[in-house]
Amino acid sequence: MDIPRYLRQSRGITLSDQQRAAVEAAFGDVLLLAVPGAGKTTVLTARIANLMANHNADPRRILTLTFSREGARDMARRWERLFGGLFPCAPAFSTIHSFCLRLLEEYAAGRGSRLPELLEGGESRGGKERLLGEVYREVTGEYASDEVLSRAAAAVGYCVNMRLTGREEEGLPEGVPHLDRLLERYTARKRERGLMDFDDMLLFADTALERSAVLRERAAGRYDYILVDEAQDTSRLQHSILHRLERGNLFLVGDEDQSIYGFRGAWPQGLLRFSQDRPQGRLLKLEENYRSTGAVVAAAGRLIAQNRQRYPKAAFTRRPQGEPVGILRELDHGEEYGRIADLLEQMPPERTCAVLYRTGYTGIGLGWTLRRRGIPFFSRESRLGYRSDTITREVTNLIRLAQDPGDEEAFRRSWFLLPCRIPKAAAERALAVHPRDLLREVLEEEFTQRNSGRILWVRRVLAGMAKEPPLGQLETILGELEYLRALDRRCQNNYDRGSYLQKLSVLRDFAAAAPDTAAFLESLREAERVLDSPQRRNIILSSVHSAKGQEFDEVIIADAIEGVFPMADALSFRAAGDTRPLEEERRLFYTAMTRARDRLTIFAPSGCLGQPLLPSRFLYSAGGGEAPELDGVPLVPGLRVAHAFYGVGVLERADTVRGEVVVDFRRQGKKRFTLEELRNPMVFRLY
């Protein structure tokens, strides 16, 4: 049976030469690289049909795995739509976790033992983070915030999927204190209580296959063909399981350019080393994008070509060129979400639009704006981490201290933020006395010191601030209490600045809308719920990760600024010589761009709170140009430049033809330098 002809005559689907080659690649190891919108699910299901129709393949001996339940359901729906009723028995589609669970059940039954209870299932749903919270308290003596628990859960899963132990230093994720002890204690607690999490299912299955030759031969002998969808999301541990099972007919479908789950252990190197691991294997490509316009495909292609760890692909589309990618720079961050709301209000109801973002702070700011404008939307986001954000907590505590000078908790969490150099011993003594005015107690303790006048002034500022509306209080905190300057001292570069300015801008939106302090503080407590809106299915607010695998008529990417998208951590790693996190950020931006069918608009505000914002370096590729770089730092207007003699200035322009830059210094005016001069770390620092 000619499956391509069947699809053309019965379903109106004409396969391209590349698609047909993949469908008819019946034997041997194959890696199929599929650009976004290439019809890979159709090709994968058609290949299974070809095996069954023309090679007598028993569907029960075809193992088809994917990363998510939704992916498995999508393949099953696609099979039913294309080939339902054509064969007496349909193939099964499974997640790799479900497959491993069945394997463990078989292993346990053979040994007469019981499997551990699953932490994330049934009555134990959410149990992983509860247990991690318990262990975190044991290790640190402190309660972990939701944000810390979320990071800890991701870090533990990453270690398991990358086959790392807590005692390995290189490769361990950062940002989780005492990760080695946390991982060791968490593992011990699960063992003591007979528990396992989803990552353990993979680890235990791999271990069982390694230790039991009988299980390995039985499992491997059960399947003639193994097909893996979304192979770029497969971890090193999952690759190990596949290696133990496959017998020369492994079909991997994926795209290393869309590998965006590195924080969960996704290992695109498994695809990049395919030819090295399987010298007899074939590398096939699906390079036609059926989804996006020519403008979107070209812009996305220019962007992803900047990555080094990838296969070259000549992505193209037969769709019209369409509108150029829109890049909006000439606006302040305070205007951005309102301008996005304007676009959504004008959108016809029959079209779909997704507003995609990198961090939850953008989602909260957007949701807040749309709710105030009465624009319904749909969002799957649930845990955005806003309440546990450091800046939100610090601003909240300063406001609480102004409202109640005797608030011990607010004072304990904010005395060191006040611009009056309070000694730690004085702060602790004041807290021990339990006075109604903690700063007054500190002042009496320190009245003979030179900073007593400054403490008195801060008390007066706080007293006056308590009488102001919320927006005035925030402005006082940023200005008179020098919080903005303190944040500026904390950040090591422009990237951190973009991140904290974005957060302060969202806070400003909340403050401007609140009638009084109580309402403002309540709105911050309820900020996580702003995405719980009346649902309108054609307008979606989503992180890029949650939008993976979806497509929309229009896509808007918000907050495309340095430090936000790409995130500051990735840029810091890049400055230190590690390009891997930045390459994943670029893949994430590429994934966001390629969700668009007809129109793509990118917002990159140029300023916030009177400070310049640097546009995301990804915009230059998307817009058809490249920003000149110096040791990985894009030389874009607004970049801060520190000079050993002239002080701090702002880059005005960079001329790569002449090899010079112009920097505007605060006190010394505009100065010209060569690019080579900028490379001297004894004289210049770019941040």
Check pLDDT > 60 for residue 114.
yes
At 124 the pLDDT is 45
Say how many residues make up the chain.
Answer: 687
Mean pLDDT over 455-467 rounds to 92
- What pLDDT score does 122 carry? 46
62 φ, ψ (degrees, to nearest 5): -115, 120
- For the chain, the average pLDDT equals 89
Task: Please name which of 525, 187, 538 lies closest in space to residue 344, comparing C-alpha atoms.
Answer: 538
Residue 552 φ/ψ, nearest 5 degrees: -145, 155
pLDDT of residue 668: 85
Q: What is the pLDDT of residue 490?
A: 79
Query: Of residues 24 and 154, which shows the higher confidence score?
Result: 24
Beta bridge partners of 332: 607
Residue predicted with more confidence, 456 or 165: 456
pLDDT bucket at 625, cuts 50 / 70 / 90 = low
User: Considering the chain, what percentage of its residues have pLDDT values greater than 70?
Assistant: 93
Q: With the C-alpha atoms ordered 92, 97, 103, 104, is the resulting torsion angle positive or negative?
A: negative
Look at residues 590, 610, 604 and name the one whose alpha carbon lies nearest to residue 484: 610
Q: Which of 11-15, 263-267, 289-293, 320-324 has the lowest mean pLDDT?
A: 263-267
The contacts of residue 626 (CB under 8 Å, 6+ apart) are 620
**Lookup: tokens for 112:** 């007469």
Tokens 């990049």 -> residue: 272
At 316, the amino acid letter reads F
Q: How confident is the model over 308-336, as a mean pLDDT?
A: 95
Q: Which 3 state secondary structure label does DSSP give 686?
A: strand
d(CA 413, CA 396): 10
> Could you give the percent of the chain with pLDDT greater than 90?
60
Q: What is the pLDDT of residues 84-100, one digit of tens each?
A: 989 989 999 999 999 99
Closest CA to 230 of 258, 263, 201, 270: 258
- Give the Cα-Cα-Cα angle 365, 367, 369 (nearest 5 degrees): 70
Which of the two residues, 452 and 419, has the higher pLDDT score? 419
Check residue 288 and give its pLDDT. Answer: 98
In one letter, which amino acid is 258? Answer: Q
pLDDT of 381 higher than 80: no
Q: Which range scores top for mean pLDDT: 6-20, 177-191, 523-537, 612-626?
A: 6-20
End-to-end CA distance of the chain: 63
Name the residue among 634, 602, 629 with its Cα closest to residue 295. Answer: 602
- Give the C-alpha separation, 193 to 85, whole Å: 47
657 pLDDT more than 80? no
Query: What is the predicted pLDDT for the residue at 527?
Result: 82
Helix (H, G, I), strand (E, B) or coil at 120: coil
Are 470 and 585 a contacting pair, CB within 8 Å? no
CA distance 406 to 420: 18
Average pLDDT over residues 662-684: 86
d(CA 299, CA 271): 24
* Model confidence band, residue 256 (pLDDT cutoffs 50, 70, 90): very high
Predicted confidence (pLDDT) per residue in 5-39, tens digit: 999 999 999 999 999 999 999 999 999 999 999 99
Going through 273-387 in order, the beta strands assigned E by DSSP cover 282-286, 326-328, 353-357
- Rounded Cα distance, 274 and 310, in Å: 12
Q: What is the Cα–Cα distance from 68 to 513, expressed in whole angstroms?
A: 40
The alpha carbon of 213 is separated from its chain's Cα centroid by a whole number of angstroms, namely: 40
Tell me: cis bond preceding 566? Omega within 30 of 0 counts. Answer: yes
Q: What is the pLDDT of residue 632?
A: 62
Residues 6+ apart with CB under 8 A from 412: 427, 431
- In angstroms, the CA 447 to CA 449 distance is 5
Distance CA 96, CA 68 (A): 8
Compute CA distances 574 → 308, 495, 553, 581, whole Å.
13, 12, 34, 7
pLDDT value of residue 98: 94
**Residue 479: pLDDT over 80:** yes
Task: Compute the distance between CA of residue 508 and CA of residue 677 in angstroms, rounded to an integer.
Answer: 40
Encoding tokens for residue 107? 């292993």
Neighbours of 140 (CB within 10 A): 14
- Residue 264: predicted pLDDT: 86
Query: What is the DSSP annotation of 205-269?
Result: HHHHHHH-HHHHHHHHTT-SEEEESSGGG-BHHHHHHHHHH-SS-EEEEE-GGG---GGGTB-TH
Q: Which of 23-32, 130-139, 554-563 has the lowest mean pLDDT?
A: 130-139
Instruction: With beta carbons less than 8 A apart as the criterion, state whether 361 and 502 touch.
Output: yes
For residue 233, which of 200, 201, 259, 215 has the smallest C-alpha distance?
Answer: 259
Max Cα–Cα distance, the chain, nearest Å: 96
386: confidence class by pLDDT, cuts 50, 70, 90:
low
pLDDT value at residue 592: 98
Cα 312 to Cα 147, 259, 317: the distances in Å are: 38, 15, 16
Average pLDDT over residues 672-681: 85
